[in-house]
Structure 1
Amino acid sequence: FKFNDWEMRGVPLRIEIGPKDVEKGTVAMARRDKPGREGKSFVPQAGLSRTVGMLLDEIQASLLARATTFRDSHIFDPKDYAELTEVVQNGWAYSYWCGDNECEAKVKEDTKATTRCIPLEQKEEKGKCIVCGKNAKRKVYFARAY
């Protein structure tokens, strides 16, 4: 229970030092990104700060890779409005939008999704608004809030 509280707060690494660890000159470390025995290791107290620094870098890279994979697997490029209404239930739709508030209101009414991000750097392409079919100059991300 005590450990779960810190994991829920996002602490990436838990260091445990018990009486036996002190005798052996080791500490137990548990990673948040790898549950169970896989994420637990025993390391010598000597050089602990260097080991912790390297491990935190490894955890950061692992969490970033997992989040990037998740994000990329949940972005869809719907071909029509019906497909947009489906994909926003469990992901993000990357679609052309004319910028009209009425179009965004329709998406919100039908799906509870809204525009989440308008990427600043994107290719200068023209397309048709996924909602109304008017000319659109940019793509945006539509998604639901959680």
Structure 2
Amino acid sequence: EKGSVALARRDIPGKEGKQFVPQENIAIRVQDLLVEIQANMLAQATVFRDANIHDVTNYDELREVVLAGGWARGWWAGSGEDEARIKDDLAATIRCFPFDQPGGNGVCLFTGQPANQVAIFARAY
């Protein structure tokens, strides 16, 4: 009756995320709002991801981070069998090998051997 539509954003909970928009402008406002929401959700996810990735240099550190629910990033030169042992012990696996690899080489967090790539370990949710 008032000629407006209620919009509730999923990225801003509660009253702060609710707004009323006139019906005549709804299509344009929704398009703009979707772009804004996507950018905000990406920013929130990026902050969350970065806050939960921890650099590790050995198995004890990997264990501590993973058991606390974080993601562990470290040098990796292990085999499939090595990853299987980590999975059996911690229920964690390699989630990815980041595209943005550091230069040079490091020491594998599991085997202690020279490593030329970094992996991120975590538990599945």
TM-score (norm 1): 0.79
Quickly say closer, same or farther: Cα 1:143–1:48, change in 2 above 3 A. same
Using the TM superposition, give the Cα deviation of residue 83 of structure 1 relative to its aligned residue in structure 2, in angstroms.
0.8
The C-alpha deviation readout for 1:121-141, integer Å capped at 9, x for no partner, is 423321111011011111111
In the alignment of these two chains, the number of paired residues is 124
Which of the two has higher C-alpha Rg?
A: 1
Identity %: 52
Q: Which residue of 2 aligns with 1:54?
A: 32
* Runs (4+) off by over 4 Å: none
Separation (CA, whole Å) in 2 of partners of 1:79 and 1:119: 17
SS at match of 2:121: strand
Is the contact made by 2:78 and 2:111 (CA closer than 8 Å) also made in structure 1?
no
Indicate whether 1:133 and 2:112 are aligned: yes
SS at match of 2:5: strand
CA RMSD across the alignment:
1.3
Quickly say closer, same or farther: Cα 1:108–1:56, change in 2 above 3 A. same
The C-alpha deviation readout for 1:55-110, integer Å capped at 9, x for no partner, is 11111111111111100000010132101101012111111111412221221122
TM-score (norm 2): 0.92
The structure whose RCO (Cα within 8 Å, separation 6+) is larger is: 2
Is the contact made by 2:57 and 2:108 (CA closer than 8 Å) also made in structure 1?
no
Residue ranges of structure 2 left out of the alignment (5+ in a row): none
